[in-house]
Amino acid sequence: MEPWQRIAQAEAQAHAGFGTSERFGPLVAAFVAPGLPLNTAWHDGSRVPDTAELAAFEAFSVAHAVPATLHVLSPAVPGLLPLLRERGYALEYVLHLYTHTLQTLPPVTLPVQEEPDADAWAAVSAQGFGPGSEDIMRVVAHAPGTRRFVARPGGVPAGSGALGVNGAVGALYGMSTLPDARNRGVQAALIAARLHAAQAAGATVATVFTTPGTGSERNVVRAGFSLGGMRLTFTRSISTR
């Protein structure tokens, strides 16, 4: 199995832990609640879905009144694109995939603690992401396998991040910094702490998805991550066809 396939498989398996989930061949779909960005499917990197599997995923989406939205890692896109085009999917957005081999880790420069209280972590996280993020962060906080971290310089919460370890893959996600704590190294500390935790949990590679050109992307590069590809998100409008 190629490294990118292990990452896709780990993401698909983690996605199955959200809400109501169902597998359609290589596609793992989930529905959590109306209006949440987790109402999507992950392609697990194994093979191209056949028409019946893709149609079944689309029927799942229609049943839950959400657009059929599919995340695909870039190496799988050439094989999938003809089928997606045929069925009316359009590229919605792209994130960069970064990987870290966990051999040489950056130091943790600020106090970071693991947070056992899911609701407390979600509250801190939502303060960083801003109004409207409360529901999604509570879902993330309570998801199976989520490890929650809070940076506390001076004992005061300044930012948060999550980690999920699936086999050899440690996924970093859900990172935010409170507005009055920005530009103080909070993200760097959260990244480093989760890399150390991923290594201690037996992972051999860590992953993170970032929006291209953002401060978060610059922070993960400074932490030793390398660009490993892209996550492309395709969407098909709600249809009863």
Summarised one tens digit per residue, pLDDT across range 23-58 is 999 999 999 999 999 999 999 999 999 999 999 999
Residue 239, pLDDT > 70, answer no
What percent of the chain is modeled with pLDDT above 70? 98
Of 220, 105, 99, which is closest to residue 168 (Cα–Cα)? 99
Residue 240, pLDDT > 70, answer no
pLDDT (tens digit per residue) in 137-157: 999 999 999 999 999 999 999
Q: Average pLDDT over the chain, rounded to whole?
A: 95
Answer yes or no: are the C-beta atoms of 101 and 204 closer than 8 Å. yes
- For 101, counting Cβ atoms within 10 Å of its Cβ (0-12 exposed, 13-18 middle, 19+ buried), the class is middle
Mean pLDDT of the 213-217 span: 92
Query: Residues near 128 by Cβ (< 8 Å), separated by ≥ 6?
Result: 159, 160, 176, 177, 178, 179
pLDDT (tens digit per residue) in 173-203: 999 999 998 888 999 999 999 999 999 999 9
Residue 115, pLDDT > 80, answer yes
Instruction: Please count the CA atoms within 13 angstroms of the CA of 83 that sit on its side-chain side.
Output: 15
pLDDT at 198: 98
Q: State whether residue 104 is helix, strand or coil.
A: coil
Strands (E), 25-146: 27-31, 41-43, 68-73, 90-100, 112-114
CA distance 212 to 136: 22
Residue 241, pLDDT > 50, answer no
Q: State whether residue 71 is helix, strand or coil.
A: strand
Q: How many residues does the chain have?
A: 241
Instruction: Please count the CA atoms within 13 angstroms of the CA of 212 that sit on its side-chain side.
Output: 10
Which phi and psi (to 5°) does residue 118 adopt? -60, -40
What percent of the chain is modeled with pLDDT above 90? 93
Q: State whether residue 172 is helix, strand or coil.
A: strand
